[in-house]
Amino acid sequence: STGEVMGIDAVFGSAYAKSQAGAYGPLPLKGRAFISVANRDKRAMIFPARELAQRGFELLATSGTAEVLQRHGIPATVVRKQYEGEGPAGEKTIVQLIHEG
């Protein structure tokens, strides 16, 4: 129904989760999460990234973001930005990884 997909709640995070669950089914409980944020937002991503890692998600991040995560004890795999192209050893870009699932 339309009401489910709207995701009504007093808290944005809960409303968003409800909207996604209504539109696409239950949210994933495991898998990979890609994180890439501007320098000004890196401090704000620490808590949610730590939560994802503690829940068993593998974190993929661009180099600057991964560096901040790792500095805070959060494991992250560095992935290449699209404009960087494939790495010298065939490392794939984030766009290629997303296309592969």
Question: pLDDT truncated to tens, each residue of the chain (101 aa)?
Answer: 455 567 788 888 888 888 888 888 887 889 999 999 999 999 999 999 999 999 999 999 999 999 999 999 999 999 999 999 999 998 999 999 999 98
**17 and 39 assigned to the same domain:** no
Q: Measuring CA to CA, which residue among 75, 80, 84 is closest to residue 93?
A: 80
**17 and 36 assigned to the same domain:** no
**71 and 86 assigned to the same domain:** yes
3-state secondary structure of 14: helix
Report which residue type is found at 51.
Answer: E
**16 and 58 assigned to the same domain:** no
pTM for the whole structure: 0.76
**46 and 89 assigned to the same domain:** yes
**7 and 54 assigned to the same domain:** no
Report which residue type is found at 71.
Answer: R
**20 and 61 assigned to the same domain:** no
Spatial distance between the Cα atoms of 72 and 91, rounded to a whole number of angstroms:
25
**45 and 5 assigned to the same domain:** no
Residues pairing with 93 in the sheet = 80
* Domain span holding position 22: 1-28
**21 and 62 assigned to the same domain:** no
Angle at CA of residue 74, ends 28 and 68, nearest 5° = 115
**22 and 39 assigned to the same domain:** no
